[in-house]
Amino acid sequence: MLEIAGITKKFAGLTAVNQVSFAVDAGEIVSIIGPNGAGKSTLFNLLTGNLQPTIGSVRYCGKPITGYSPERRARLGMGRTFQIAKPLLALSALENVLVGAFLHQRRLADAEAAAFDILDDVGLADRAAIPASELTLSERRRLEIARAIATRPNLILLDEVMAGLNPTEVHLAVELVRRVNQRGITVLLIEHNLKVVRSFSRRVIVLDRGKLIADGQAESVLADTAVIEAYLGARRS
């Protein structure tokens, strides 16, 4: 579904993403972990077209999409959330999801019906009329996921959607991500909570200082010395 080859992003003097290559199969849940500043969000921006790579290429469903705009990629079925949740604060929860639904639905009534179903699914039906500015952090995160789902993605990129949530809210979010995946949407998520990563117990990719340092099954990757060092900030030679 997704094939990234030698992707690199340089900002002035800094190589934020350095020669990263990996592929994702349809139906997978892949967690991306790594210390702050490792290049995880930059990698997502390269995949969604919010940033263009300095070198390297991205293929999606067999199609070379390097250079495509974010909107064109969304139309091809790539959905995303942002690390800093960016709901349209003055709009209601329902209207926020409508923005996503309009990507494929032209008629207001159809888009509204679709948006409401999705809000219901993420547990926000009773908050539909509330301005996004009045939602809690946990509700805003679910709203972001709802808006991404409304664009009918085949692949969804979730950037730290569980950060700052309490254990009950994390549990809700984990269940939601599972349901999304069970509906056939491939999930790529940036996640700091290793308990969450383990609970999905699938594939984990580790970035450290822009480089991919591990890619494999959660159990073995999380036991890897280089990964532990990257996390603990142990001295490197």
Contact predicate 127/93, CB 8 Å? yes
Retrieve residue 152's tokens. 């009918």
Contact predicate 148/79, CB 8 Å? yes
Regarding 41 and contact with Mg ion (CB under 5 A), the answer is yes
Residue 139 or 144: the one with the smaller Cβ distance to ligand ADP is 144
Q: How many residues bind Mg ion (CB under 5 A)?
A: 3
Question: Binds 66, which of Mg ion, ligand ADP, none (CB < 5 to 8 A, cut-off by type)?
Answer: none
Q: Which of 199, 187, 112, 116 is closest to 157 using CA atoms?
A: 187
Rounded Cα gap, residues 150 and 82, in angstroms: 15
DSSP 126: G
With tokens 């991919």, the residue in question is 212
Q: Which spans in the chain are helix H? A: 40-48, 70-75, 93-101, 108-121, 137-150, 167-182, 194-200, 218-221, 225-232
Question: Binds 8, which of Mg ion, ligand ADP, none (CB < 5 to 8 A, cut-off by type)?
Answer: none
Q: How far is the CB of 42 from Mg ion (least distance, A)?
A: 8
Residue 40 or 152: the one with the smaller Cβ distance to ligand ADP is 40
CA distances from 184 to 24, 29, 30, 207, 213 (A): 14, 10, 14, 26, 28
What amino acid is encoded at 227 in this protein?
V
Residue 101 or 189: the one with the smaller Cβ distance to Mg ion is 189
Q: Classify 169 as helix, strand or coil.
A: helix
Binding site for ligand ADP (CB under 6 A): 11, 14, 16, 34, 36-42
Q: How far is the CB of 109 from ligand ADP (least distance, A)?
A: 39
Regarding 83 and contact with Mg ion (CB under 5 A), the answer is yes
Residue 20 or 149: the one with the smaller Cβ distance to ligand ADP is 20
Regarding 31 and contact with Mg ion (CB under 5 A), the answer is no
Taking CB under 5 A as the binding criterion, the range among 37-45, 54-62, 132-140, 196-204 that sits at the site for Mg ion is 37-45
Residue 34 or 100: the one with the smaller Cβ distance to ligand ADP is 34
Question: Binds 36, which of Mg ion, ligand ADP, none (CB < 5 to 8 A, cut-off by type)?
Answer: ligand ADP
Contact predicate 143/97, CB 8 Å? yes
Residue 41 or 105: the one with the smaller Cβ distance to Mg ion is 41
Regarding 48 and contact with Mg ion (CB under 5 A), the answer is no
Contact set with Mg ion (CB under 5 A): 40-41, 83
